[in-house]
Amino acid sequence: MKHVLVRLAFLGFLFPSLAFVNPALAEETIVIAAEDDWPPYSSIKADRSGPEGFTPELVRAVFKLKGVDVRFLTVPFARCLHYAETGRTVGCFNATIVEGNRNTFHWHPTPMFSEELAIFARSDQPGDHLTLKDLEGQTVSVTIGYTYPTELMQNQAITRFAATSDAQQLRMLATGRVRFALVNTMPGYLRIHAEPSLQGRIRQVGRVSVDGFWVAFSKAHPDGKRMAGIFEDGLQQLKASGRYDEMLEAFRRRIGYQPGK
């Protein structure tokens, strides 16, 4: 027996791969599409090397807990959804669940985060605490390719104008081309504060909804359903450890965002 153990140890010295599996080499690698123009949650870096924001940080951290390495493909949101739907990528973020896509993707039960869909108006326009009903008979801008509540998109009493981005929505509002703009609260305020021409000219006057945001996992990709389950397990693990709350708070401090202010 002693000679056998010595021989095995010697083989392990000559061929380390026989003695153990390197955890880094054992990691599975997947590709997820990331939207490129929804700061601060997900937008392309200035050097175009990949996405930045809370969502890619969260997705990477969740999958790392489960031994999965993630590569991101940063593209416009409409293309992001298309890549996931056709199976080019295993998933796409940040997506909301609406009637039009509920059966198109695999959804993990727990949303990554929730965000308010706000109603913005010009600062000199009266009115507060507006709701979806108050948009009837009005001109309202939305961003092409984004997912909005079904009740909004199917309401024929609302005149919708399409914009290529949230930034264009806010500029359309400031110049009087529409009466209201529908932009998520945190991204909206950060865009307003970052653009001097919008500061003091636009304010929030209500909200349409508070929506969850998910990774839309592909039904066409062979790993889509399995990765949706792995992601849910990792997200729950991250939340239970307290690290999720730490990441969210650190992110808000970094961008200078204070809820309710």
CB atoms within 10 A of CB 257: 15
What is the H or E stretch that residue 172 is in?
Answer: helix 166-174
pLDDT tier, 256 (very low <50, low <70, confident <90, very high otherwise): confident
Q: What is the pLDDT of residues 124-157, one digit of tens each?
A: 999 999 999 999 999 999 999 999 999 999 999 9
DSSP character at residue 147:
-
Q: How high is the pLDDT of residue 203? A: 97
Q: What is the pLDDT of residues 175-227, one digit of tens each?
A: 999 999 999 999 999 999 999 999 999 999 999 999 999 999 999 999 999 99
Quote the CA–CA distance of 119 and 133 in Å, as a whole number.
Answer: 12
Per DSSP (E only), the strands in 36-84 are 37-38, 42-44, 51-52, 68-75
Quote the CA–CA distance of 167 and 117 in Å, as a whole number.
Answer: 15
The CA-based diameter of the chain, rounded to the nearest angstrom, is 90
Pairing mode of beta strands 159-163, 139-143: parallel
**Residue 107, CA atoms < 13 Å, CB-side half-sphere:** 16
Q: How high is the pLDDT of residue 18? A: 39
Q: How much of the chain, in percent, has pLDDT values that exceed 70?
A: 89
What three-state secondary structure class fits 56?
Answer: helix
List domains and CATH numbers for the chain.
Answer: 17-113+212-255 (3.40.190.10), 115-210 (3.40.190.10)
